[in-house]
Chains A and B, each alone.
Chain A
Amino acid sequence: MDFLNALVALSNFVLVPAIAYGSQLALGALGVTLIYGILRFSNFAHGDTMAFGAMIAVLVTWWMQSVGIGLGPLPTALLALPFAILGCMILVLITDRLVYRFYREQKAKPVILVIVSMGVMFIMNGLVRFIIGPDDQRFADGERFLISAREFKQLTGLKEGLAIKTTQGITVVVAVIAVALLFWFLNKTRTGKSMRAYSDNEDLALLSGINPERVVMYTWLIVAALATTAGVLYGLDKSFKPFVYFQLLLPIFASAIVGGLGNPLGAIAGGFIIAFSEVTITYAWKKVLTYLMPESLEPSGLVQLLSTDYKFAVSFVILLIVLLFKPTGLFKGKAV
């Protein structure tokens, strides 16, 4: 019984949150890794692209709520998601047309594009704050829990409760669908393959008649969709705050690099590795250990390895360890 209780406590405080957070990071890291693989630079504006997409979702959700459109137990934001993706796509396409394309024509080195993306980051950041303000916005509605701690206790008779938030459930489902779609697209469709070809060898792609501008356009579209989805899911799970999205850049970069930059599979794995290490290392293990250990050995402190404020440090240390031992990331990325 104690073992079961420990397991439930573990799931409640570590596994479920980490899986949800990992899915969000994975979606974010996929966007970064695609840009890195195909446009060949690390996009500092990615966090703000997520914020922009999520912002549109928030606005559309508010509008829908005000006219009474809803999904019942599910959050209205799911209905708003397609609109948000569309809005974000328009934004990134305009950005590409006005900003990035010029540098492609100049055959600019990737590092120039990195600096350019800093400028884009400033603009998007300003834009989001300009439109919706820098404050916290809540937009989640519908049922709060798939299963609440109380229901779970009644159901199982255990002392520990397991609560799964609707948003966590949705996060995982949506992330799985998005990732499945992405992999199907990249591996099975002609356009997807042409994107991989372009990433692999630009010159030869050109010689095969692949139009680079089309590849770039599709990449931005996919990235916009992924970023918006990640942004909305994160916002539903936590709350929407522009600055937080900017700060997500570090764990997202860390995920993409740990997995191997340029490798989509790696981005997903990286997302979960970073999420799990952040949550496990900053979780106070007292509760779980109390169930597992004999009374005499029960811990007196919280058994928290690091305070939650150090979660950035965790992702960074993981990153460093991986890079020191496997410079191309866990899955063979492009960075050597």
Chain B
Amino acid sequence: MSDNPYQDDHGNKDATITNTKGMGTMTPAHRESGETHYVGGGPFLIGDSMTGGYGKGPDILHDCTIAVDKGEIAVIVGPNGAGKSTAMKAVFGMLNVRSGSVRLDGEDITNLSPQDRVIKGMGFVPQTSNIFTSMTVQENLEMGAFIRTDDFSDTMEQVFELFPILREKRNQPAGELSGGQRQQVAVGRALMTKPKVLMLDEPTAGVSPIVMDELFDRIIEVSRTGLPILMVEQNARQALEIADKGYVLVQGRNAYTGTGKELLADPEVRKSFLGG
């Protein structure tokens, strides 16, 4: 039995009455948005000394800071369970941030719901289930542009230019694509909102090394358009190589921070996280 009497596992296996596929798992910290206020200054997007955890659970992040500025790629790396994805989710509003703040372009958005952060210009690509498998590639992209009321055909054109394979497969259900292609759809979907900042949660998880290199190339290409990118990566070395800024997290705290090159050169970081 769980704490919430409505969330017992009871009888949910009966597929003739319950449909658990594609059910929501996100637990936004704020269902309804609170106030925002302008603070000014600082990097374009910053999660500033965040401490917090899921719901009423224990703190997972401790005084953790991550930031990305215009035209940069910032990468969060660290061992398994270091809270990399959690830090990203905190910035996106899916974690109860008990102290510290999140600021976008000088505006304190700590109390905004995730949906409103999307509207403010944050694009987020989750690690898993990041495409609509039953919809075509084109429909996936259209759904990415759902909040836009203007004509988004040129954005779609840009996405197709960036990921030519998607143009080819535009009328295929996205669920039928290969792992790497799915990730392209996922990134493409996020780009359709014309975000001011793009957040990627382990975009290369589970793809082959060749596909991984290609995905990194694409990410650099996206970043060249001036879009700041905040990215969590398992493959620390490759990620730091393309990173302008790197954050090494250990147990929910900032362990090392610096430019990608600095971190790659740091003997401590090399020894502990990059395997020598």
Contact = CB atoms under 8 A, between A and B. Distances in A.
Interface of A: 36-37, 40-42, 103, 105-112, 114, 190, 193-194, 196-197, 199-212, 253, 257, 261-262, 334-336
A212 B18 CA distance: 19
Nearest to B17: A42
Interface in B92-142: 114-115, 118-119, 124, 126, 129-135, 139, 142
12 contacts: A36-B19, A41-B18, A106-B6, A108-B6, A110-B17, A110-B19, A111-B10, A193-B139, A201-B131, A204-B129, A207-B126, A335-B16
Interface in B67-106: none
Contacts of B14: 111
Given A204-B126, A209-B115, A209-B193, A197 B16 contact: no
A200 B134 contact: yes
Interface stretch (B20-28, B205-213, B214-222, B246-254): B20-28
Contact of A110 (B12, B124, B130, B189): B12
A107 B12 CA distance: 14
Nearest to B133: A200
B189 A208 contact: yes
A204 B132 contact: yes
A103 B215 CA distance: 41
A159 B183 CA distance: 67
A216 to B, nearest CB: 12
A109 B10 contact: yes
Q: Main secondary structure on chain A at its contact with chain B? A: helix
A40 B135 contact: no
Nearest to A43: B17
B6 A193 contact: no
Contacts of B132: 196-197, 200-201, 204-205
Interface residues of B, number: 44
Contacts of A210: 143, 146
A199 B22 contact: yes
Given A262-B19, A336-B15, A202 B115 contact: no
Given A36-B19, A208-B118, A209-B119, A112 B135 contact: no
A261 B16 contact: yes
Contacts of B22: 199-202, 334
A105 B6 CA distance: 11
Interface of B: 4, 6-12, 14-27, 31, 114-115, 118-119, 124, 126, 129-135, 139, 142-144, 146-147, 189, 193
A203 B17 contact: no
A75 B251 CA distance: 72
B4 A197 contact: no
Contacts of B4: 106-107
Contacts of B6: 103, 106-109, 112
A152 to B, nearest CB: 43
B11 A111 contact: yes
Contacts of A202: 22-24, 26
B72 to A, nearest CB: 23
B9 A109 contact: yes
A42 B16 CA distance: 7
Given A107-B4, A109-B10, A203-B26, A193 B18 contact: no
A110 B18 contact: yes
B203 to A, nearest CB: 15
A94 B223 CA distance: 48
B125 to A, nearest CB: 8
B147 A209 contact: yes
From B129, B143, B146, B147, name the one whose CB has the most chain A CB atoms within 10 angstroms: B143
A201 B147 contact: no
